Amino acid sequence: MTATPSITRTSIASVNPYNNEVLREFPPMTDEEIHRAVEAAHEAFQSWRRLAPAERAAVVRMAGELILERRDEFARTITLEMGKRIGESYDEVNLVADILRYYGDHGPDLLADRPVPVEEGSAVVANRPLGALLGVMPWNYPLYQVARFAAPNLVAGNTILLKHASNCPQSAIALEQLFRDAGAPPGTYTNLLVPAAKVAQIIDDPFVQGVSLTGSDRAGANVAERAGRNIHKTVLELGGSDPFIVLDGEDLDRTVDAAVVGRMSNMGQSCVSAKRFIVLTDMYRDFVERLRQRFAALVPGDPLDPATTLGPLSSEQAAENLVSQVQETVSQGANLVIGGGRLDRPGAFVEATILTDVRPGMRAYSEELFGPVAVVYQVANEDDAVSLANDSPYGLGGAIFSRDLDRAQRLAERLDTGMVWINHPTSSRPELPFGGIKCSGYGRELADLGIQEFLNKKLIRTFPTTSAIGFSHG
């Protein structure tokens, strides 16, 4: 391990978590620069909104083509800034291209006005943009999280102010350049190099009309409170502690493989990572042992090396926090099957870890574990599995594995989550809505629902000039 790197207190820094090297530092924007950026986004909205949806969609689709041309540059930047393994960085670039092209192709149709049947004349619900929107985005998917917010809203006619996580400024700058090169007019998409302390100030600006945040439930509560004071619409995608329920022992090797993918993708730093493995008694011991073997075989190394299967976490602080959660849970009586500490090497590495015998009151029972740590529970039956799965402050996603699809679908209906995937780890595609309930937030991103969140659903009711005049109200 190495000490936390020395960074200028006032800077926004890009640090490689593989070796803690400071890659670049950027001065944060001044208050005057922030105000000018917000004002420019408001001014750009006045012309951007008047373009036909197909014209706006063409810009977004072009961004999808350009990012594929620059995939090597973008993938390398992601890996250097937050430690994602290079293969997964390429996967993220490809997913972002899919999202941009999805809204580029389908966005105009998704925005079509909706006629309302009436007895006389006509009525239509017209989908119209709101204005400049603030997006507060996290570091764990530096491109994907931005794309699923920006793409639909740009096609909808809103303009974007993007406050990215402070540890991935180079990814943020590259995205701004991408949209500019795709043809977005000045002020349409603006990157804000600001610390988190400036978010409230931006929300308070009267030109800002809505806020979307992906991050922790604590950050979401703060943003929602501030936005509420300003009567701003918000969408929040927050933390998760997704259950992964194993109902039978059929294809157990495939199920364990899926468990490793679900837990270790992005080194477990995903809101929809499988975090709580809930296994019926008959398969429990076998599942734990096979999972232990898979975890023990992971190879730590440079995330730029395709042979690496265990990369670093995003930062020294993230690694320290995760190990603290694990060690305190063990001190409270949990069983440590494998791992539990830092790897003896430079960088923000944490051992692949399995905990069992975790009970209510322990930290790992109710807190989100953001890293390569799996908690495995043994349950006697389906009812116990559902009860345990729902005993969480979070409700983002979940996964159920069973050969009996009817059984799995019945169980899916009982889970208190925004998403359930059957026989596959929770994932994301442009055409599928994404979001949760409870402390995992509200609103939906992606698919048709994602483009509907920040719209003025304007009713236009028309009567013929010969109609009788009357008035009623609710």
Active site residues: 237, 271
Q: What is the DSSP string of 64-115?
A: HHHHHHTHHHHHHHHHHHH---HHHHHHHHHHHHHHHHHHHHHHHHHT--EE
Is 32 exposed, middle or buried (CB count within 10 Å of its CB: 0-12, 13-18, 19+)?
exposed
β-bridge pairing 373-379 and 353-356: parallel
Distance of CA 152 to CAs 177, 209, 242, 285, 447, Å?
18, 16, 26, 46, 9
CB half-sphere exposure, 236, CA atoms < 13 A: 27
For the purposes of burial, counting CB atoms within 10 Å of the CB of 247, is it exposed (0-12), middle (13-18) or buried (19 or more)? buried
Q: What are phi and psi of 445, to 5 degrees?
A: -120, 160
- Alpha carbon distance 89, 92 (integer Å): 5
Q: How many CB atoms lie within 10 A of CB 87?
A: 14
Give the integer Cα–Cα distance in Å for 400 and 268. Answer: 18
Candidates 230, 238, 279, 282; CA nearest to 259 is: 279
Q: What angle do CA 73, 78, 84 make, to 5 degrees?
A: 130
Which amino acid is residue 321, in one-letter code?
N
Cα distance between residue 243 and residue 274, in whole Å: 6
State which H helix or E strand residue 328 sits in. Answer: helix 316-331
Beta bridge partners of 274: 242
Dihedrals phi, psi of 343, to nearest 5 degrees: -80, 145
Q: Which 3 state secondary structure label does DSSP give 162?
A: strand
Distance CA 353, CA 374 (A): 6
- Tokens representing 166 are 């402070």
Rounded CA separation 442/429 (Å):
18
Sign of CA dihedral 83, 84, 90, 95: negative
What angle do the packed helices 144-156 and 53-69 form, to 10 degrees?
160
